[in-house]
């Protein structure tokens, strides 16, 4: 189905996927497609995109604060040390997606992340070097034109897999690239298309 941008009651035209959900609209306007260069924030988003596999993003978005509390604010140095007792607690946490393979994958990915941070080149640099440090701006008119994966997402997927990351298939990686502004896939008539690459991400307060 070819879905074009929608005019919202506030007078702004947006991509059709957030619908009228205030949480989803806010995410669309302030986060999705805005370039992210922070190493830890990139790890968090990659893990959440892995948890999304087979689900809708709004499901994860509604549980994001619960995920942050459950996973120690996605601090890889803590997650890498999770033991069987912690995994058991996560599997009994109704506030998150309770999937053993994905929980184990987050732990293995944290270890891989720390390896990249300690031995180089750093997680953000590893990812953004694929883009020569700059977002790729696309000019799609409908959601039907937006790909599920690209040759570049396949390349990044292979690189991450080779380093021990889990749940980093080409489709998950492309969704991650869209969300973190590595590519700008806001539809060309969406009000965010021209601005998201210039928007500065606001540092968020850590979960206590």
The pLDDT tens digits of the residues spanning 58-79 come to: 999 999 999 999 999 999 999 9
Per the structure, the count of domains in the chain is 1
Is 190 marked within a binding site?
Answer: yes
With respect to residue 6, please indicate whether it lies within any of the assigned structural domains. Answer: no
Does residue 139 or residue 207 have the better pLDDT?
Answer: 139
DSSP class of 137? E
Among 71, 67, 99, 64, smallest CA distance to 86 is for 71
Is 192 marked within a binding site?
Answer: no
| Contact of 71 with 79, CB cutoff 8 Å | yes
Model confidence at 208, pLDDT cuts 50, 70, 90, reads low
Per residue in 19-39, pLDDT (tens digit) is 999 999 999 999 999 999 999
SS3 call for 7: strand
With respect to residue 207, please indicate whether it lies within any of the assigned structural domains. Answer: no
With respect to residue 158, please indicate whether it lies within any of the assigned structural domains. Answer: yes
pLDDT over threshold 60, residue 1:
no
164/107 Cα distance (integer angstroms): 10
With respect to residue 205, please indicate whether it lies within any of the assigned structural domains. Answer: no
Among 132, 167, 166, smallest CA distance to 152 is for 132
Q: How far is CA 65 from the centre of its chain?
A: 14
Q: Which domain holds residue 86?
A: 14-198
Per residue in 94-103, pLDDT (tens digit) is 999 999 999 9
Is 193 marked within a binding site?
Answer: no
With respect to residue 57, please indicate whether it lies within any of the assigned structural domains. Answer: yes
50/169 Cα distance (integer angstroms): 9
DSSP class of 197? G
With respect to residue 7, please indicate whether it lies within any of the assigned structural domains. Answer: no
pLDDT, the chain, mean? 95
Angle at alpha carbon of residue 194, lines to 192 and 195, rounded to 5°: 65
Model confidence at 83, pLDDT cuts 50, 70, 90, reads very high
Domain holding 29: CATH number? 1.10.340.30
Look up residue 173 and give its two tokens: 């990686």
With respect to residue 146, please indicate whether it lies within any of the assigned structural domains. Answer: yes
| Helix 39-52 / helix 170-179 crossing angle, nearest 10 deg | 130
Is 15 marked within a binding site?
Answer: yes
SS3 call for 14: strand
Strands, E assignment, 129-193: 136-137, 183-184
Strands, E assignment, 64-166: 136-137
With respect to residue 4, please indicate whether it lies within any of the assigned structural domains. Answer: no
């Amino acid at each position: 189905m070819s879905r074009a941008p929608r005019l919202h009651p506030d007078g702004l035209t947006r991509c059709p996927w957030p619908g009228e959900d205030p949480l989803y609209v806010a995410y669309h306007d302030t986060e999705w497609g805005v370039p992210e260069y922070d190493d830890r924030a990139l790890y968090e988003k990659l893990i959440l995109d892995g948890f999304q596999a087979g689900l809708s993003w709004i499901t994860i978005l509604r549980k994001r604060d619960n995920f942050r509390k459950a996973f120690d604010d996605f601090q890889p140095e803590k997650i890498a040390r999770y033991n069987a007792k912690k995994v058991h607690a996560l599997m009994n946490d109704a506030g998150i997606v309770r999937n053993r393979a994905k929980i184990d994958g987050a732990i293995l990915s944290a270890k891989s992340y720390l390896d990249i941070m300690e031995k180089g080149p750093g997680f953000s640099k590893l990812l953004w070097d694929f883009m020569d440090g700059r977002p790729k701006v696309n000019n799609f008119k409908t959601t039907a034109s937006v790909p599920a994966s690209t040759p570049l997402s396949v390349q990044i997927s292979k690189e991450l897999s080779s380093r021990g990351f889990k749940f980093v298939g080409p489709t998950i990686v492309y969704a991650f690239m869209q969300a973190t502004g590595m590519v700008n896939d806001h539809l060309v008539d969406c009000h965010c298309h021209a601005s998201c690459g210039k928007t500065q991400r606001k540092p968020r307060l850590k979960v206590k």
